[in-house]
Amino acid sequence: MLNVPSQSFPAPSSQQRVAPSGRNKVSLKPGRSLMDWIRFSKSGRDLTGLRGRLIEVTDEELRKHNTREDCWTCIRGMVYNVSPYMEFHPGGEDELMKAAGVDGTDLFDQVHRWVNYESMLKECLVGRMAVKTSASIKAQLNADKQSGPVNGLPPAFPTLVLEPPSAVPPPKAPPPPKDHRPRFDWFQTEAMVNVVVYTKRKIPNSSCAVVDLQGGALRVEVLLGKLSYLLHLRLSQEVEACITVQTLSAVGKVQVSLRKAVVAKWDELGEPLQSHDSFLRRKDRGVFYRECTLVSKTDVTHDTRLFGFRLPCGTHMQVPVGRHVYLRAPIQGSEVVKPYTPVDRALMPHSTEREHANIVLMIKIYPDGALTPHLDGLNIGDSLSISGPEGPFSVRLLCEVTHLYLLAAGTGFTPMARLIRLALLEMGAIGKTKLIFFNRKERDILWRSELDTLAGQEERFEVEYVLSEPCDGWSGQRGRIEAAMLSDFLRSPEGSKRLVCVCGPAAFTELAQGMVRELGFSDEEIHTFQG
């Protein structure tokens, strides 16, 4: 069953739509961008109304601050006055008001799990939620058992200091039955240590395992649909930096092999670190970053670059088709995080030459953007924090598909690039892959030469371009997305198995999705890449 998310969170001008979220975008007033908020929050204004004091907030006090002009919310036990942030919130004031005067942790995690709110809202910190003691909790439970008045008086409740809702971990999805839970084991030779994760289910390929070896700590995360299994240990002895990962998909086995720095027998593998041997919903697990090195930067168009990053020697990570990663960088004292979808170095492979970059990103540079000017200013050899794979897309959606339709606007093309390659090289059942590509001007079309060449060489692939601001000599389609245009584009033989993928700015994605539905496509036949 396809999930068709209806929400988005990059800025309206951003065309990196890559991850499902829980809200709709709104148009912000001029001067209300992320960079404007960073500058505003660093201006020295008193954004809490407390003149720099931090206070302890009870649940009763938190509930009082529930209006647009006086809005407090709690995230993981910390209380913030978000009133000054109202006009800057990309999801609009109404979305922010859902967390007014209450614990907003769950709502925040649904949409913003990857955002460093501590940095972004640092100047809005009111204080910490008050915590009640274990004794008072027991007293309250005993008092709750009294069903009526005693001697004509209401039951006497002890004085309690309220505990923040966020102090209690959010409810987790019930784990699978015990015997279905992944487990790990290890064995060694004189020169090698081998760590094995048994997932007890079929797994797609090596892209499901993300391995990081940093400073003697081994972190192995196995991605299993909406769940992930984490092995996290500080190794008992030193190993060399390079690692080998083998995946046996049919039996669900992942083996990580490490070469010992000193040939000797180990008495133990290591000591557990945070969240070791845990099996959680992926959205409940924190985003992990590693420092990657910029090894290449080339122009694609007048305002779009191709950035190539190399993973650390101790990292094994392959981003599956249709998934994205988060880039994180310190900007003017705040931590800015944005999602981007990796592409290959070229639309189709030109040679078997080894690629120097492990992660290649096609990014449009916005002069007033929060992150892209920083990226554009990176020099070869500079480092950047990059997360592991995120997003719900699975190649299983393509099973039995015979006709694949791709609707892209601007850099919404990025997830389509690898989809095209996958469909033509590995999905023989897909008899036709069609791309309709919307841009403002001819110079904005990404990889046009490669797309045209591929369409000329491969009869299973077709591409159409639509420009909203074409020059006089443009012979292709003009205008913006409309139902009549899509009706022609989406025609397919009777009985065909269809899938429509959509990616672009929020307004484009929502409009396209609605039009495709009106043309008779079911939700199971539509997938939207959204941020």
Give the pLDDT confidence of 187-214 residue by residue, as tens digits. 999 999 999 999 988 887 768 899 999 9
For position 510, what pLDDT does the model report? 93
Residue 11 in this model has a pLDDT that exceeds 70: no
Are 410 and 433 contained in the same domain? yes
> In which region does residue 200 sit, left (phi positive, over 0), alpha (psi from -120 to 50) or beta (all else)?
left
Average pLDDT over residues 26-33: 77
Q: Which of 162-171, 224-233, 274-283 has the lowest mean pLDDT?
A: 162-171
Residue 89 in this model has a pLDDT that exceeds 60: yes
Q: Which of 232, 264, 284 is the last residue of a domain?
A: 284
Is 6 a domain residue? no
Name 297's Cβ contacts closer than 8 Å, sequence gap at least 6: 305, 306, 307, 308, 378, 380
Is 173 a domain residue? no
Residue 10 in this model has a pLDDT that exceeds 60: no
Q: In terms of pLDDT, which residue wins out, 503 or 54? A: 503
Are 66 and 195 contained in the same domain? no
Are 371 and 505 contained in the same domain? no
Q: How many domains does the chain have?
A: 4
Are 128 and 248 contained in the same domain? no
Domain extent, residue 264, equals 178-284
CA distance 488 to 483: 9
Confidence grade of residue 233 (pLDDT, cut at 50, 70, 90): very high
**Mean pLDDT, all residues of the chain:** 84
Structure tokens at 184: 């790990």
Are 218 and 260 contained in the same domain? yes
Can you spell out the DSSP letters for 176-206? PPGGGS-EEEEEE-SSEEEEEEE-SS----G
Are 218 and 269 contained in the same domain? yes
Confidence grade of residue 26 (pLDDT, cut at 50, 70, 90): low
Q: In terms of pLDDT, which residue wins out, 11 or 67? A: 67
For position 356, what pLDDT does the model report? 63
Is 10 a domain residue? no
For position 350, what pLDDT does the model report? 64
Is 3 a domain residue? no
Give 313-339 pLDDT, tens digit per residue: 999 999 999 999 999 999 888 889 999
How much of the chain exceeds pLDDT 70, in percent? 83
Is 225 a domain residue? yes
Give 391-420 pLDDT, tens digit per residue: 989 888 998 999 999 999 999 999 999 999
Is 41 a domain residue? yes
For position 163, what pLDDT does the model report? 39
Give 341-351 pLDDT, tens digit per residue: 999 999 987 65
